[in-house]
């Protein structure tokens, strides 16, 4: 069992142990947010055929060679083609076909002129200047080419990608299945917010906070509820979680005190401990284990510590299991907008908000940085990564940070 | 009826005409992503009581005044208090109470010392240095104070906010109701991706793309399907949309060509036209109307034009109707990473991707900028706002842009 390892080693060790789950087919109408499980190639070109980008007349450019304002060229309009219909005739010298926006280019025509730029008289049009072959024609395959990969395995189905799949005639898509994540809170002091408050007890927030995060990521949270600090009860619920879910998360009971019995429970069920404790603050008490080919991650009971380690360690695992191909939080540099007066003996992550009204990235702290404080997580979209051995931080200095929270994939 | 107005005028005119919809109660377990409809105040302090941040001993600092390594102070341990239980005894001079992480501070104690920093012998502890009153005590109300507003009306319920509400004992929350958005695609050329491709037809993408976007925003898309370019059919479906939904979106048929009959249909049903066409590219053909106290927004049928005007004009409306208090896309400045060679006679929005690995914001173009092209929307998270009358743009120049797509609220 490793102990006091770095965050990066923890991420690597765990990511190596998981893989993406099964795949399934979903209708395109409910595919948004899901992850593509197989490269998708298009069987057709987009556009499907040469077409007109505007309402106008299709003709032969050669016919307009001598056109000018005093000597217009006059062509006979032999057909009118709306979008959605094929021309029946073909353009020959001396004729034109009226085409609406999106209509296929008639055979024989090599240029389109806007209808505002000609004079129409009954079945004739007058043209006043020479045209260049190929003007105003959208070519077949200009957007996508038949056979091209439209969406790679691991891509998130965002709305334009859903639209693009519709455009190539895909109405069902292979995606990775939703994963289930069991969450258990341990602690004699905890009661659920639906219960009456009793003396010495506190409301449990971790189950709700982490469950909400799982939902937001597109995974399915499975609540294992709250158990007291009793080894037998913890063992039973973890076993239940292993049966019900793809990943088990616990909160509380992972330090080295007399009542920190999640590590004991994990050893009891015969799980292989991967590591215990990481070298960072908050969140250093974390234990991870593998059991029946599934991972169990025991997080701190302190709300901010639990949430930050969830962000930095559990979210990448969930993303890998969901089939997303870039899992780790996105790193960036920014200018610190205010002082942080404490020195940092240990590596420390500070809750911060990236401000983006300027072309320079600024980060400001979101409030009280204590382990137990949830309030400063609410506005947090970034964590400042303060190296071990740092002195106080000064406003204006450059800092390293990572994006956290749902939405940070925007920047991948 | 106004025409060819600026984007900003269009946004203002429409936002003035909508308001947030009804509210409802949801259980906390399904509240993530919803919008708070009433300020939420806490009835309790967090923490609820003075408590210990670690496993240790509660005692009187005064007792340790003369402690040093050769002359330790010895205290009698009279009780042990786990988290979740109230101390039964009180600390008097010469005594200490063992407290576990999260346990309430016993009466009479004014300091906690870590258990690693003392020597325990049976029911005695030895202390080797003087302690400062108040050390290692988390004070009642340090995180949130009774009566404080925890979440303002209009706040998005992100996972830490869900956790914070759990922590103050809230298990159901008032949120704005989901809004319904009816979407209709018009055009003789359109078929659904579930249909067989026929000559001259193309697959319709707008319905799927915009429906997916509505879902992602937390609204409920209602498909009105595809109708041909026939006034009566369009009138009928728009009426249906007005009955079924809070907002009606159409695509196609909004230019000035012979077959652009959405404006005609809107006049036919007696809707008040608000404006027709805006001064920007792509997306200039857009018509908006009010009917039976609901808005109808007719977007271009060109996929990129429809999507960009949806982002810039419809999304702010949806956000206002959903109760989100900042609706407009977030503006920022960035450095253009590559040349864009076309001059821009009209104001133009370019599909781009904000890159964030550096402390300077860079934007790069995501590909072909034609009206009909969807492919370059897939990676787009920002639109570069190119003023009318601009020449070609050069790599390295500063440009204005807005964040678009779900997730951009991260930066509000």
Q: From CA B338, how far away is CA B75, in angstroms rounded?
A: 72
Chain B positions in Cβ-Cβ contact with residue A161 (cut-off 8 Å): 378
> Is beta strand A119-121 parallel, antiparallel or unpaired with respect to A124-127?
antiparallel
Q: Per-residue pLDDT for B411 more than 60?
A: no
CA distances from A315 to A48, A263, A289, A337, B205 (A): 41, 22, 16, 27, 32
Among the partner residues A193, A301, A374, nearest to B28 by beta-carbon distance: A193
User: Largest Cα–Cα distance in chain B?
Assistant: 101
Bridge partners (DSSP) listed for residue A278: A5
Cα atoms in the 13 Å half-sphere on the side-chain side of A327: 23
The kind and range of the H/E element at A334 are: strand A331-336
Chain B positions in Cβ-Cβ contact with residue A160 (cut-off 8 Å): 209, 307, 374, 377-378, 380
A vs B, Cβ pairs < 8 A, gives 335
Instruction: Render pLDDT for A3-40 as a digit per residue (tens, 0 to 9).
Output: 999 999 999 999 999 987 789 999 999 999 999 999 99
Res A371: pLDDT: 82
Cβ atoms of B303 and B373 within 8 Å: the answer is: yes
DSSP annotation of A311 = I
Chain B positions in Cβ-Cβ contact with residue A104 (cut-off 8 Å): 200
Q: Per-residue pLDDT for B409 more than 60?
A: no
Chain B positions in Cβ-Cβ contact with residue A218 (cut-off 8 Å): none
Cα angle value A58/B348/A134 (rounded, 5°): 20
> Is beta strand A95-99 parallel, antiparallel or unpaired with respect to B40-41?
unpaired
Chain B positions in Cβ-Cβ contact with residue A382 (cut-off 8 Å): none
Walk me through the domains of chain A, giving residue ranges and CATH numbers. Answer: 2-22+177-322 (3.40.980.10), 24-46+142-176 (3.90.105.10), 56-127 (2.170.190.11), 331-411 (2.40.340.10)
DSSP annotation of B185 = E
Chain A positions in Cβ-Cβ contact with residue B212 (cut-off 8 Å): 31-32, 157-159, 162-163
Among the partner residues A101, A188, A192, nearest to B85 by beta-carbon distance: A188
Q: Do A159 and B368 touch (CB under 8 A)?
A: no
Confidence category of residue B258, pLDDT binned at 50, 70, 90: low
What is the rounded average pLDDT for all residues in chain A?
Answer: 93
Res A407: pLDDT: 61
Bridge partners (DSSP) listed for residue B191: B203
- Which two structure tokens, joined as six digits, stand for B215? 């879902």
Q: What is the pTM of this model?
A: 0.92
Chain B positions in Cβ-Cβ contact with residue A411 (cut-off 8 Å): 354-356, 381
Q: Which of A287, A312, A313, A291 is nearest to A300 (CA)?
A: A287
- Chain B: closest CA distance from residue A159 (Å): 5
Q: Do A158 and B358 touch (CB under 8 A)?
A: no
SS3 at position A399: strand
Chain A positions in Cβ-Cβ contact with residue B369 (cut-off 8 Å): none
- Residue of chain A whose Cα is closest to the Cα of B332: A357
Res A148: pLDDT: 96
Instruction: Render pLDDT for B341-350 as a digit per residue (tens, 0 to 9).
Output: 999 999 999 9
> Is beta strand B149-151 parallel, antiparallel or unpaired with respect to B124-127?
unpaired
Res A99: pLDDT: 95
Average pLDDT over residues B85-112: 96
Q: What is the DSSP string of B114-163?
A: EGGGSEEETTEEEE-S---TTTT-BPTTSSB-TT-EEE-TT-B--HHHHH
- Residue of chain A whose Cα is closest to the Cα of B83: A189
Cβ atoms of B308 and B380 within 8 Å: the answer is: no
- Which two structure tokens, joined as six digits, stand for A185? 């809170």
Q: From CA B47, how far away is CA B32, in angstroms rounded?
A: 24
Among the partner residues B167, B373, B408, nearest to A303 by beta-carbon distance: B167
Among the partner residues B49, B143, B357, nearest to A375 by beta-carbon distance: B143
Res B278: pLDDT: 96
Peptide bond into B189 cis (omega under 30): no
Q: Do B82 and A370 touch (CB under 8 A)?
A: no
Confidence category of residue B95, pLDDT binned at 50, 70, 90: very high
**pLDDT tens across the length of chain A (412 residues):** 899 999 999 999 999 999 877 899 999 999 999 999 999 999 999 999 999 998 999 999 999 999 999 999 999 999 999 999 999 999 999 999 999 989 999 999 999 999 999 999 999 999 999 999 999 999 999 889 999 999 999 999 999 999 999 999 999 999 999 999 999 999 999 999 999 999 999 999 999 999 999 999 999 999 999 999 999 999 999 999 999 999 999 999 887 665 678 999 999 999 999 999 999 999 999 999 999 999 999 999 999 999 999 999 999 999 999 998 788 998 889 999 999 999 999 999 999 998 766 678 899 999 999 887 889 999 899 999 999 999 999 999 999 999 888 665 554 4
Among the partner residues A207, A255, A259, nearest to B82 by beta-carbon distance: A259
- Residue of chain A whose Cα is closest to the Cα of B27: A194
- Residue to mutate among B186, B191, B200, B213, with most A CBs inside 10 A, is B200
Q: Do B212 and A83 touch (CB under 8 A)?
A: no
Among the partner residues B84, B330, B373, nearest to A188 by beta-carbon distance: B84
Q: From CA B236, how far away is CA A344, in angstroms rounded?
A: 67
Among the partner residues A32, A200, A408, nearest to B215 by beta-carbon distance: A32
Q: What are phi and psi of A313, to 5 degrees?
A: -115, -45
What is the rounded average pLDDT for all residues in chain B?
Answer: 93
Q: Do B31 and A405 touch (CB under 8 A)?
A: no
SS3 at position B85: coil
Residue B202, burial from CB neighbour count under 10 angstroms (0-12, 13-18, 19+): buried
SS3 at position B82: coil
């Amino acid at each position: 069992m490793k102990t006091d390892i770095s965050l990066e080693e923890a991420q690597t060790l765990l990511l190596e142990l998981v893989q993406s789950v099964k795949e399934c087919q979903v209708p395109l109408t409910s595919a948004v947010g899901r992850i593509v499980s197989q490269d998708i190639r298009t069987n057709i070109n987009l556009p499907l055929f040469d077409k007109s980008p505007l309402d106008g007349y299709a003709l032969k450019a050669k016919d307009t060679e001598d056109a000018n304002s005093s000597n217009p060229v006059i062509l006979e309009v032999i057909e009118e083609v709306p979008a959605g219909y094929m021309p029946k005739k073909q353009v020959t010298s001396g004729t034109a076909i009226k085409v609406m926006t999106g209509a296929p280019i008639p055979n024989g025509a090599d240029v389109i002129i806007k209808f505002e730029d000609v004079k129409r008289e009954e079945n004739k049009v007058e043209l006043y200047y020479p045209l260049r072959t190929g003007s105003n024609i959208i070519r077949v395959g200009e957007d996508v080419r038949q056979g091209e990969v439209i969406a790679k395995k691991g891509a998130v189905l965002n709305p334009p990608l859903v639209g693009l799949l519709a455009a190539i005639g895909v109405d069902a898509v292979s995606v990775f299945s939703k994963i289930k994540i069991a969450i258990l809170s341990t602690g004699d002091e905890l009661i659920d917010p639906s219960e009456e408050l009793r003396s010495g007890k506190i409301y449990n927030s971790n189950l709700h906070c982490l469950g909400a995060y799982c939902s937001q990521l597109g995974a399915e949270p499975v609540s294992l509820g709250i158990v007291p600090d009793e080894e037998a009860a913890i063992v039973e619920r973890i076993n239940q979680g292993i049966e019900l879910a793809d990943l088990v998360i616990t909160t509380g009971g992972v330090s080295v005190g007399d009542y920190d019995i999640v590590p004991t429970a994990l050893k009891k069920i015969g799980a292989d401990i991967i590591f215990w404790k990481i070298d960072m603050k908050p969140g250093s008490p974390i234990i991870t284990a593998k059991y029946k080919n599934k991972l169990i991650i025991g997080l701190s009971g302190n709300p901010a510590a639990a949430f930050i380690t969830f962000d930095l360690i559990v979210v990448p695992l969930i993303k890998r299991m969901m089939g997303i191909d870039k899992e780790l939080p996105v790193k960036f540099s920014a200018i610190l907008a205010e002082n942080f007066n404490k020195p940092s003996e240990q590596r420390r992550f500070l809750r911060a908000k990236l401000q983006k009204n300027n072309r320079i990235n600024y980060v400001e702290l979101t409030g009280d940085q204590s382990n137990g404080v949830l309030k400063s997580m609410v506005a947090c979209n970034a964590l400042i990564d303060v190296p071990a051995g740092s002195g106080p931080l000064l406003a204006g200095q450059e800092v390293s940070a990572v994006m956290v929270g749902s939405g940070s994939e925007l920047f991948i």
